[in-house]
């Protein structure tokens, strides 16, 4: 059977009922911006198997909006938890930073550390802090969703090759494997100094912007992608490695985050 275009929703909204007022506000803005969205209370018809209906909606959605809050954090069991686990199953078939799953915080809370793959959890995905700055966050969210149409401008072989190489090299840093780093140590003082905009001659033997091939390749790719307009689209996976300072800061942030755990 051919599916009607209306069966394909742009955003699946996952939330707990305690946050209905905030969700209604977000969805009202979606409607005013001509963004289709899927809410279980609106879209699951009487007599339908809700689990199958929701699973199909998540698969067909262009984005999965996970709305976390103090209320969702307090609930050991909820429909949102079930929706989230379905979404994680689907996310495991995509790059973890594909931008398909968008976490937001409606209030101060912890995002659950659900495993996505061997190296990443849900906490590694960049989230929007609605509770701190509603206006900026909703604007960023709308921009992230709308870019789906605009990315046709980046639909060239050259862009996709550069993007895939960039993401592969970036993952070497994120995985903390130490490939391309002095003594496989992301926390080496050379990177700490570099992150602060300093370059100490004593560490030149260890690493430098002239010696580090990983940095040189990521720097060139960053500059190339910027020249192709990458920054206009607000991709959640994008990080600008153009300068040594930014490369070092990214590496040190990854090291510090892993050291906490």
Segment 203-217, tens digit of pLDDT: 666 678 888 888 999
Question: Given this model, what pLDDT does residue 153 score?
Answer: 52
Residues of the chain with pLDDT under 50: 1-9, 46-47, 149, 152, 261
Instruction: Quote the CA–CA distance of 35 and 28 in Å, as a whole number.
Output: 10
| Buried/exposed code over 145-172 (b: 16+ C-beta within 10 A; e: otherwise) | bbbeeeeeebeeeebeebbeebbebbbe
Q: Which CATH superfamily is domain 5-151 in?
A: Toll/interleukin-1 receptor homology (TIR) domain (3.40.50.10140)
Segment 23-35, tens digit of pLDDT: 999 999 999 988 8
Domain ranges of the chain: 5-151, 156-260
Question: Given this model, what pLDDT does residue 5 score?
Answer: 41
Report residue 77: phi and psi, to 5°. -130, 135
pTM of the predicted model, to two decimals? 0.57
């Amino acid at each position: 059977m051919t599916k009607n275009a209306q069966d394909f929703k742009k955003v699946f909204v996952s939330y707990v009922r305690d946050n209905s007022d905030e969700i209604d506000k977000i969805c009202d803005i979606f409607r005013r911006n001509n963004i289709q969205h899927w809410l279980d209370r609106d879209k699951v018809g009487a007599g339908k198997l809700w689990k199958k209906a929701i699973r199909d909606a998540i698969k067909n959605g262009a984005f999965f909006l996970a709305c976390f809050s103090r209320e969702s954090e307090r609930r050991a069991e909820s429909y949102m938890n079930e929706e989230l686990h379905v979404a994680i199953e689907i996310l495991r078939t995509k790059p973890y930073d594909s931008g398909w799953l968008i976490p937001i915080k409606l209030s101060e809370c912890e995002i659950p550390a659900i495993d996505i793959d061997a190296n990443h959890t849900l906490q590694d995905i960049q989230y929007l802090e609605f509770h701190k700055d509603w206006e900026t966050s909703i604007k960023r969210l709308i921009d992230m969703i709308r870019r789906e149409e605009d990315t046709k401008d980046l639909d060239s072989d050259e862009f996709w090759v550069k993007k895939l190489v960039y993401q592969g090299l970036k993952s070497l840093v994120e995985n903390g494997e130490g490939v391309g780093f002095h003594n496989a140590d992301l926390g080496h003082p050379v990177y700490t100094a570099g992150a602060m905009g300093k370059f100490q001659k004593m560490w030149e033997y260890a690493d430098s912007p002239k010696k580090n091939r990983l940095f040189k390749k990521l720097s060139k790719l960053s500059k190339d992608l910027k020249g192709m307009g990458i920054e206009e689209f607000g991709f959640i996976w994008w990080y600008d490695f153009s300068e040594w300072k930014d490369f070092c800061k990214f590496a040190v942030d990854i090291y510090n985050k892993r050291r906490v755990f």
